[in-house]
Amino acid sequence: MGIAVLTMKASVIEMFLVLLVTGIHSNKEMTKKIKRPKNTVPQINCDIKAGKIINPEFIVKCPPGCQDPKYHVYGTGVYASYSSVCSAAVHSGVLDNSGGDILVRKVAGQSGYRGSYSNGVQSLSLPRWRESFIVSGETTKAYENPSVPGASAQPVTMMQALAAEAMHTALPKPTPFVAAATSSPRPQPGGHRSQERDLWSTTTYTSNRSSPSAKPGTQRQDFSRAAVQKPAETDVSLGFVPKEELSTQSLEPVSRGDPNCKVDLSFLIDGSSSIGKRRFRIQKQFLTDVAEALDIGPAGPLMGVVQYGDNPATHFNLKTHMNSRDLKTAIEKINQRGGLSNVGRAISFVTKNFFSKASGNRGGAPNVVVVMVDGWPTDKVEETSRLARESGINVFFVTIEGAVENEEQYVMEPNFANKAVCRTNGFYSFSVQSWFGLHKTVQPLVKRVCDTDRLACSKTCLNSADIGFVIDGSSSVGTGNFRTVLQFVANISKEFEISDTDTRIGAVQYTYEQRLEFGFDKYNTKPDVINAIKRVGYWSGGTSTGAAIQYALEQLFKKSKPNKRKLMILITDGRSYDDVRIPAMAAHHKGVITYAIGVAWAAQDELEIIATYPARDHSFFVDEFDNLYKSVPRIIQNICTEFNSQPRN
């Protein structure tokens, strides 16, 4: 009986060995036949961006329907990693709207991306981005025959098989990737980019976030348990990382910033009680996205944040954080202050305190403030914004969920955004219908902030002066030549940016007497100024230049704004009947920069007395009225050279 049992056990062991070895060889043969992708990711949604997948080269299966314009693409041929992967594939012609497999290769970031319309997809332009990608349909290149652990051709003994099983039983099972889920620095608002987030988060977490009755501890516990149950959703080996984890990883060395976007930027964020916690988190996410898009660094843009409620407070200034990674981390830590929505008080605070050398203001970079407003302010903003603009600050307003028709009665200052910004053509203001659509404003805002050529509120030689023309209308000039002088005045005026907050133009005509043709506050557009110059009538009479200078100081420059550069441009064709020394000295003493332009019989010594020192840069002489136009470029050049040599705010 015992022998029979032993014989049966031996037979069973022998059969087990045969099956084990046969299974291993079958596994090896199957591995040879089935080629698996080396770098593949699960089927993704159309809105997933290439930057969310960390593999440098990978294959992905795109679903149908990615031709929809709501999925944004940036570039042509080479796409910014902020683009939808699958929509870029449709744009490039690799896929049609029915979806399919594509091969994606990451490449270096570009200095600019050109938008175009192709294959039913309109791609957008982008100034620059830190990472790019290209797509192709050649998916076979990413496949190979991987090695399978345990598929050895060597004989396997029963002891080896039992030992392997024992080790498998004894060792702890690998823990699914939960670190990013449990250490996430900030939950994102429900409803904001939810399709992206579902790939590495869970529906349990999202639904708890949107439920006002959910407890924080329950949210964290449910999220962790869900992550354990579905490890594939956050498996790093598949090429995905949670958004929070990705935001702290640098794909390349810390940048010194984008030199094509060198601006000093202050964000004025709404911390009032009315905004609520959920929308405040959306606002912080918006700031984080802007910080990433800007490429912060000492050679490029610098950014600080001020929060307002009842009173404003600086969270960090321009020199606190010198790269986007550190800046985003700091933004995450901002807590809501609460209170009213005193925007005007906050703008005044920024004007007086933020853009100082001690706070990191670089002087040569344009100053920009972006004001975030939920609904409408609880105080007035027009006057404080005007003072900010006159200090050389470019004021942008982003208004979210502004007052509808039945709410307008509660708005203290109707049309407040247009009254606050530098221009009313839409360049400096954004109106966002819903907080959940705020993320769509990131790229348009970044593009405008970085377009330094259009930041007209920054002080330049062409937009920061009050220019008073003092025109000789004496009998020796004559009607025809007087028209030529007026054309000369118009030609100079055309070179400047004219508005009530930029350069302003005024004019005085003189003979023995003086007449104010129009003051600085009369016309605030370039066409109106040019037309006013053309309408000036020839007066005729003597030449009292000294009295004309004194009159211009009292009737024209006395009404100049304190922070404006005061420029007097005097045109005469002869020697003055009165003394010019004392009036000229008075002008110099009051800070009026005087340019003296003489024609024909003008006295050179008087021109040098009238002109600001050094006279060689501020006095000009032409022998004929018809040659006046030739001096316009040099006058403008000297005005700008002098301005650029002065300290900036």
φ and ψ at residue 158, rounded to 5 degrees? -60, -40
What is the C-alpha to C-alpha distance for residues 109 and 130, in angstroms, rounded to an integer?
A: 4
Which ranges constitute the DSSP H helices of 393-461?
A: 416-420, 442-450
Supply angle C-alpha 396, 400, 402, rounded to 5. Answer: 105
Write down the pLDDT at residue 111.
Answer: 76
Q: How far, rounded to the nearest angstrom, does the alpha carbon of residue 259 sit from its chain's CA centroid?
A: 13
- Which residue type occupies 477? V
Please identify which residue in the block is written with the tokens 């598949």: 238
Residues in a beta bridge with 124: 74
* 588 token code pair: 């110099």
Confidence at residue 106, expressed as pLDDT on a 0 to 100 scale = 93
**599: β partners:** 622
Query: Residue 562: what pLDDT?
Result: 77
Q: What is the pLDDT, as a whole number, of residue 457?
A: 65
Provide the pLDDT for residue 587: 97
| pLDDT value for 271 | 95
Query: For residue 280, which phi and psi values (nearest 5 degrees)?
Result: -65, -40
Q: pTM, whole model, 2 decimals?
A: 0.42
Provide the pLDDT for residue 176: 34
The stretches in the chain having pLDDT less than 50 are 5-6, 9, 12, 18-19, 21-22, 24-37, 141-252, 647-649
